[in-house]
Amino acid sequence: METNYSKRGVSSGKEDVHFAIRNLDKGLYPKAFSKVLPDFVGNDPVYCNLMHADGAGTKSALAYMYWKVTGDVSVWHTLVQDAIVMNLDDLLCVGATNNFMVSNTIGRNKFRIPREVLSEILNGMEDFFESLRKVGVNIINTGGETADVGDLVNTLILDSTVFCRMRRDEVITNEKIKAGSVIVGLASAGKATYETEYNSGIGSNGLTNARHEVFSVKYKSLFPETFDANVPDELVYCGNFSLTDNVENCSLNAGKALLSPTRTYLPVMQEVFSKLRGDIHGLIHCTGGGQTKCLKFIENLHIIKDNLFEIPPVFRLIQSSSKITLREMYQTLNMGHRLEIYTDEKTATSVIEIAEKYQIEGRIIGRCEADKGNKLSLHTEEGLIEYLEH
């Protein structure tokens, strides 16, 4: 069934990408969340290499709109965190937590993105790295590429690539996820001890849907450079809100709620790995595909999520102004937790206690049962929603 997300030219499950790479090498551990390679750097069979590329996605279009409307250039400063964390937290899902090398790629339309914006982005990158170093994450900026590609890009694309090297015996391969595993979810919203302000929990996925569903039609004429002309007219900025409108039960306005920088779980997981690495069955980062992401990393299991987090205000905002169903929201957004740790019940209790030290709520949100295929059941406020792996 075609979704509003796909009608807007985006695929939450990245079906076309998976089709394109279906015959390519999947690395040393095919079920691992990120591709794990032999140690080409050190040529040591004890070690492996990881390299991951991702970015802030269409969140940059929203940053552009907010900056143009309010004059607040600082939104570009924090956008960098989205491009970096989308890589770092994918890598932590295979057990990597330190010694990262980062390269950035910026493609801009020079007519719309001036040097002041570039300065905010590049300085914001170093400031974010420094904040990670303060919590024990060794990370270095190796440089990157800034290209003026106005013929291809209407505003700005912000991407990064992250490399690290780790021991093979420390890799989380997801092969231990099994019937009987319980699932600990770590909240995406709130204010962690290492964050400077409230985080809405939006992350960097589903922003194409969220932006158009939340904000009003007036932005269609103001910012035609922020959407694809091929998108059906009725799906372009069809919401009820202005960028600076208040959000119920949230300290951020609507624009800032959707621009809230993606939370990293690195500080929490460094401590979890130092104490419990051998007891972790698997890790899933609920990014592209939202709560259905887990289906790609299991085998003959029924995942039952029957104790989900209360839906945070930013997702209520999208829901209240939206034509999309709750089923599609759970497919494109994290809806309250962005990291899942698969483990046993005793270890789950310890993980939750560690997360609480960082003022991040953790809870057992579900479990795994044996099945003949891969199936996901979400027990939501609107009832049971089921998904099958295709």
Spans of all domains in the chain? 4-388
pLDDT, tens only, 57-93? 999 999 999 999 999 999 999 999 999 999 999 999 9
Confidence band (pLDDT; 50, 70, 90) for 7?
confident
pLDDT of residue 323: 78
Q: Per residue in 206-218, pLDDT tens?
A: 999 999 999 999 9
pTM: 0.94
Residue 332 has pLDDT above 80, yes or no: yes
DSSP H or E run through 129: helix 115-134
pLDDT reported for residue 21: 66
10 Å CB burial of residue 289 (0-12, 13-18, 19+) is buried
> How sure is the predictor about 3, in pLDDT bands with cuts at 50, 70 and 90?
confident
Which tens digit of pLDDT belongs to each residue from 14-63?
Answer: 666 657 766 678 899 999 999 999 999 999 999 999 999 999 999 999 99
What kind of fold does domain 4-388 have according to CATH? Phosphoribosyl-aminoimidazole Synthetase; Chain A, domain 2 (3.90.650)
Pairing verdict, β 375-380 and 301-305: parallel
